[in-house]
Amino acid sequence: MAVDLLLGLQWGDEGKGKIVDVLTSNYNIIARFQGGPNAGHTLVFNGMKHVLHTIPSGIFHDDAVNLVGNGVVIDPVIFKRELDKLEEQNVDYRSKLIISRKAHLILPTHRLLDAASEAAKGKAKIGSTLKGIGPTYMDKTGRNGIRVGDIELKGWKKRYRNLANKHEAMISFHNVDIQYDLDELENEFFEALEVLKSLTFIDSEEYIFQAIKSGKSILAEGAQGSLLDIDFGTYPFVTSSNTTAAGACTGLGIAPNKIGDVFGIFKAYTTRVGSGPFPTELFDEDGETMARVGQEFGATTGRPRRCGWLDLVALKYACQVNGVTQLMMMKADVLSGFDKIKVCTSYQYKGEAIWHFPFNIDPENVTPNYIEMPGWSEDLTEMDDISQLPKTLNDYIDFLEKELDTPIKIVSVGPDRKQTIFR
């Protein structure tokens, strides 16, 4: 059977966690393929809110296996905290959570190095979540990293020490004031590592290969969003992994011809957290309304998210790069009450209108060209059938489907699992 992918099409926080949870009953395996605890995936059901960082969003379902793939970077300390929370909810994760031996570990000094590197950048900082993501992927591609499978072998602690020493030298090279107590951080790290060790480690590419062969259904869960992709995002204001469809192949060991549907998730407007260009960003009351009604605060860092109108130039680009086959539009309820809704359909780039996503989208090069559509005032949050949606919202959806040449199969009208309308 083919592997379906679910990916964010904007700058993250599109609502991936919610939809993975909604779709999990259709799948045997839910697999994360990249990113790490920089992600914050929110699930709401039975009056409870859960935020997952590294653990796949299928974990609350009894029948699905949840796999943390080789492309993911794991901070054992954060992972343990996630497990503790699951335990509090009486979730029996041991029977259904498996981890790739090839996933890389985030060390305490990776986190410190992230902080030092950001501090040294000053105003030019990326706005990283400071979870050590960049330094860990740097060590992976630099062939210095420590992987989950290493901790089952002898002698890895010597490699650990050498690497941590090197990181300390790099931290002092940055010449910024970072206070830390490495002994304390390492105690916490090694303690958490013992918990990680008590879970099931697997050779995940073999596991996936056999699962596909035996007809199991698999959903690959993306983290971050396409515009944060290391190659195709708004570099350097991106994360350090391939968040786009190809990342699922390398992050799980899935051959490209085994990919089935690609579900692309987007908000009915746009948000971004951290630094970097954002052509449709609003600095007015409309932006404030989106942030307030949409409760736009980061699920990992609590930072306010920047808000703006939907950017179709960027969205089309993301659909192209990922080969999206079905779209899911989130947070339609947040736009209720806007008289007019704006959509950016082209960029004004060096005096000319362009329809493709250019190399550079800094404000001095790009300004958005908008069309305006009538809004809707109805409260959508109690609606559960497409026939109840206001005509102006249906017009908005039809317009987007036509522009993106891809069907919008889900319209989400609230954070709860149940507030999901299928089309």
Contacts with ligand GDP, residue ranges (CB under 6 A): 8, 12-18, 39-42, 44, 294, 299, 330-331, 333-334, 412-415
- CB of residue 299 vs Mg ion: minimum separation in angstroms? 4
10 CB-contact burial (10 Å; exposed 0-12 / middle 13-18 / buried 19+): buried
Q: Chain-centre distance of CA 371, in angstroms?
A: 29
Is residue 20 a contact residue for ligand IMO (CB under 6 A)? Answer: no
Out of 4, 13, 118, 139, the only residue in the binding site for Mg ion (CB under 5 A) is 13
Q: How many residues bind Mg ion (CB under 5 A)?
A: 3
Tell me whether the omega of the peptide bond preceding residue 76 falls within 30 degrees of 0, making it cis. Answer: no
**Diameter of the chain measured on Cα atoms:** 65
Is residue 308 a contact residue for ligand IMO (CB under 6 A)? Answer: no
Closest CA to 26 of 52, 61, 53, 54: 61
Q: Considering only 11-19, 70-78, 284-292, 309-317, which stretch makes contact with ligand IMO by CB under 6 A?
A: 11-19
What is the Rg, in whole angstroms, of the alpha carbon atoms belonging to the chain? 21
- CA–CA separation, 350 vs 359, rounded Å? 13
Is residue 270 a contact residue for ligand IMO (CB under 6 A)? Answer: no
Is residue 40 a contact residue for Mg ion (CB under 5 A)? Answer: yes
Residue that the structure tokens 């992918």 belong to = 5
Is residue 39 a contact residue for ligand IMO (CB under 6 A)? Answer: yes
Ramachandran angles phi, psi of 111, nearest 5°: -65, -45
- CB of residue 37 vs ligand IMO: minimum separation in angstroms? 9
- CB of residue 238 vs ligand IMO: minimum separation in angstroms? 6
Q: Are 15 and 412 in contact (CB under 8 A)?
A: yes
- CA–CA separation, 290 vs 306, rounded Å? 9
Strands 326-330 and 259-267 come out as parallel
405 included as an active-site residue: no
Return the number of the residue (44 or 218) whose C-beta is nearest ligand GDP: 44
Out of 50, 102, 111, 131, the only residue in the binding site for ligand IMO (CB under 6 A) is 131
- CB of residue 237 vs ligand IMO: minimum separation in angstroms? 6
- DSSP E strands: which ranges in 285-365? 306-308, 310-311, 326-330, 340-349, 352-354
41 included as an active-site residue: yes
Size of the chain, expressed as the number of residues it contains: 423
Closest CA to 44 of 347, 282, 295, 393: 295
- CB of residue 11 vs ligand GDP: minimum separation in angstroms? 10
CA distances from 315 to 78, 189, 215 (A): 32, 40, 33
Q: What 3-state DSSP class applies to 282?
A: coil
Q: What 3-state DSSP class applies to 287?
A: helix
Q: Give the DSSP H/E element, type plus range, for residue 293.
A: helix 285-293
Query: Sheet containing 29-32: which strands, arranged edge to edge?
Result: 200-202, 97-100, 65-68, 29-32, 218-221, 3-8, 259-267, 326-330, 408-412, 420-422
Binding residues among 353-392 for ligand IMO as defined by CB under 6 A: none
Return the number of the residue (42 or 365) whose C-beta is nearest ligand IMO: 42
Out of 126, 219, 314, 334, the only residue in the binding site for ligand IMO (CB under 6 A) is 126
Binds 412: which of Mg ion, ligand GDP, ligand IMO, none (CB < 5-8 Å by kind): ligand GDP
Is residue 31 a contact residue for Mg ion (CB under 5 A)? Answer: no
- CB of residue 58 vs ligand IMO: minimum separation in angstroms? 15
Is residue 274 a contact residue for ligand IMO (CB under 6 A)? Answer: yes
Binds 267: which of Mg ion, ligand IMO, ligand GDP, none (CB < 5-8 Å by kind): none
- CB of residue 298 vs Mg ion: minimum separation in angstroms? 7
Residues that bind Mg ion (CB under 5 A): 13, 40, 299
Residues that bind ligand IMO (CB under 6 A): 8, 11-13, 35, 38-41, 126-129, 131, 133-134, 223-225, 228, 237, 239, 273-274, 299
> Catalytic residue numbers?
13, 41
